[in-house]
Structure 1
Amino acid sequence: QDVAKKGSDIEEGNLILKKGDVLNPGKIGVLLSQGFKTIEVFKKPTVGVISSGNEITMQGEDLPFGKIYDVNGNMIKNDAVSCGADAKFLGVVRDNYDQVKEKILESLKDVDILLCSGGTSAGLGDVIKHVLDELGEVYIHGISVQPGKPTIVGVIDEKLVIGLPGNPVSALMIFNAFVAPPLTEVAGIEKDFEQKVIKGVMSRRIHSPVGRMQYQLVKVNGSEIQPIFKDSGAIFSLSGADGYVKVEKSVELLDEGEEVEVYLFN
């Protein structure tokens, strides 16, 4: 009575864990029970996040006229953490060429991937492309989606630099659609992003620009899919959105009552 027989828990020759398993408390407990003090693990990808913009100030500071609180920095950082990355927010930099260049060079010393939000458009104050052109190579500048057209992707010293749009809705949509899946894979986490898809019918008509894939924020109410008509700077729309509908480039109109697929947020 109250005696565990040898091999009753783990038999000789049993595989305890396989390469690529993600450690959790239960798996760590099994390793400890077998006398393992340390094991070899894959390093998490390190991700740095920078916000750029003359109009940005941090929470806890004064908010002068014409300024806004930074949203993207810690929002994107936490999204990267949920993808299995070791992510950190590296602060805010002004739309100044020398300051952006210095910040990018300094940040790349400590991270594998650098995410910059803002400063990606073609305006005079948007300098990230010019910095990437000088320090490395730009592979993508502008993608045919809405929101998020000014997204930029480049490489400096064999490290990936991704410029996300400055508007928070655009930044989050582009991260979830294009950055999160490969980042999760690099982190060694098996996660099928396509599983979180449901079907429903549109409660209202959506007009979409032909030639650009549109990611339309929506709210799910049973089988009814309600579009959220706000611009990409309307941050409150994120808190009420359950996911988004993809409107293909060739589609100009999704009509009321039409069946659609909704990609749910994590």
Structure 2
Amino acid sequence: MKSSFLSLIRVDEAVDLAKSIAPAMPPERVLLDDALGRVLSEDVRSDIDIPGFDRSWKDGYAVFAADTTNATDSIPSMLKLKGRIDMGAGEKMSLSRGECFNIPTGGQMPDGADAVVMVEYTDEVGGDVLVKRPVAVGENVVKKGEDFPEGGVVFGRGEVLSASDLGALAAIGYYEVPVMKKPVVGIISTGIEIVPVDKKPKVGEVRDVNSYLCSAFVRKQGGIPLHLGIVRDNEEEMISLIRSGVDKCDLILISGGSSKDIRDITARVLYTEGEVLAHGVMLAPGKPTIIAKVKDTPVIGIPGHPAATYMVLSVIVRHLLVAMAGFSDTMKSVRKARLVTNISSEKGREEYVRIKLVAENEAMPLFGKSGLLNTIVESDGVIKIPAGREGLEAGEEVEVFLW
């Protein structure tokens, strides 16, 4: 086996490489009720004008704006009340100068009317309405097609659908929604010391943390995790899981066994079963990361320590999943803050330090070994120290990439 472990690549090179092997997800159609959080596979257009008619957006009186020009509290304009407009009435009313209609919010504007006076600026006296404030043409009126015109693009391809988006899709008639298929991500944990979560570990054993860390991350990014199993340093078992996984998964994540240690089987198996594109990234924590392909399925070998696992997921795998899903990466949230203490760094590697936000816009580094979970649990995100720097100074403004 020829190893390229010492040929470290930069983080940006690793991201570009991962994105370059991302398989495109095919389109599918889902019911509107199931479309929350899904990614549109094509532009969606309105099949009608919304609204389909000029309507009031306030309770009040439909009027000719010119009839209210000089209206004041002391000298109101007097208009004849011609009637009341009911919601959902099919028949359209018409209005002449000097007249008005009582109209509810959402009511269809009568022909001739060009504004609505809010009810609080009026008084009804017998069959007349006293208007005490002038209105401009178009005031308190929503025009036909003002929300969405017929044939207009409402959402573009790649949009990640929110709850309010589903409401808009209902309005434009999308009972079924064209979306990208969710990527199925196979997850394998390796290590002779790994035991299932429901088993109490003996001395020398640890529970399978990374399978669930990876699974939750995949779900958050819009994928479908598939637990392929735990491999207890059995090369034949690893080969079997990978071969079966590439037939039903769009991506495989293998946690553990990616370093150059002779006992680490992930690297050995990927070199023999597939094509290793990179083995080693200038990333701390996360240096032993493997980027490979087995057949046409991307496989990422991730270091086994949970903090390193989460870092590689956040910094590299996230971009791969985004590329597969076909949407713009808008899920990352960034906040500016000031460091409360100095941070040293090993020059030559891009380093990510876990951060807890304290007080107002202050960033407190959480230092800890990559095998520890507490710094992930307690942190709000990470800051990046560029490869060319030897650290950051207290008081320096930094960008915190929130988990």
Which region of structure 1 is more displaced relative to structure 2, 23-32 or 55-64? 23-32
- Look up the match of 2:260: 122
Are 2:272 and 1:134 equivalent residues in the alignment?
yes
- Look up the match of 2:244: 106
Change beyond 3 A, Cα 1:10–1:48: same
Separation in structure 1 between the aligned mates of residue 175 and residue 344 of structure 2, nearest angstrom: 59
> Does the 8 Å contact 1:181/1:193 carry over to 2?
no
Are 2:294 and 1:209 equivalent residues in the alignment?
no
Q: Give the structure-1-normalised TM-score.
A: 0.89
> Does the 8 Å contact 2:332/2:401 carry over to 1?
no
Change beyond 3 A, Cα 1:206–1:31: closer
Unmatched 5+ residue regions in structure 1?
none
Equivalent position to 1:242, from 366, 369, 380 = 380
Separation in structure 2 between the aligned mates of residue 26 and residue 251 of structure 1, nearest angstrom: 44
Change beyond 3 A, Cα 1:146–1:158: same
> Does the 8 Å contact 1:245/1:260 carry over to 2?
no
Separation in structure 2 between the aligned mates of residue 246 and residue 34 of structure 1, nearest angstrom: 43
1:195, CA displacement in angstroms? 4.9
Which SS does the other structure have where 1:40 is aligned?
A: strand
Which SS does the other structure have where 1:119 is aligned?
A: coil
Q: Give the structure-2-normalised TM-score.
A: 0.60
Question: What's the C-alpha RMSD, in Å, of the aligned pairs?
Answer: 2.4
Separation in structure 2 between the aligned mates of residue 28 and residue 11 of structure 1, nearest angstrom: 18
- Opposite residue 375 of structure 2, the aligned amino acid is S
- Opposite residue 356 of structure 2, the aligned amino acid is K
- Look up the match of 1:173: 311
Change beyond 3 A, Cα 1:246–1:15: closer
Change beyond 3 A, Cα 1:12–1:90: same
Are 2:305 and 1:220 equivalent residues in the alignment?
no
- Look up the match of 2:138: none
Which SS does the other structure have where 2:228 is aligned?
A: strand
State the Cα deviation string for residues 186-236 of structure 1 (Å, max 9, x = none): 213333366513131232x32222222211112121243222121001101
Which SS does the other structure have where 1:155 is aligned?
A: strand
- Look up the match of 1:254: 392
Change beyond 3 A, Cα 1:30–1:153: same
Separation in structure 1 between the aligned mates of residue 155 and residue 385 of structure 2, nearest angstrom: 42
- Opposite residue 127 of structure 1, the aligned amino acid is I
- Opposite residue 231 of structure 2, the aligned amino acid is V
Which SS does the other structure have where 1:190 is aligned?
A: coil
- Look up the match of 1:162: 300
Say which one has the larger Rg: 2
- Look up the match of 2:329: 191
Equivalent position to 1:15, from 153, 156, 161 = 153
Equivalent position to 1:75, from 213, 230, 243 = 213
How many residue pairs get matched?
264
Change beyond 3 A, Cα 1:235–1:15: same
- Look up the match of 2:185: 47
Overall identity of the aligned pairs, in %: 30
State the Cα deviation string for residues 120-155 of structure 1 (Å, max 9, x = none): 011122111221111111011011121111000100
Which region of structure 1 is more displaced relative to structure 2, 245-254 or 172-181? 245-254
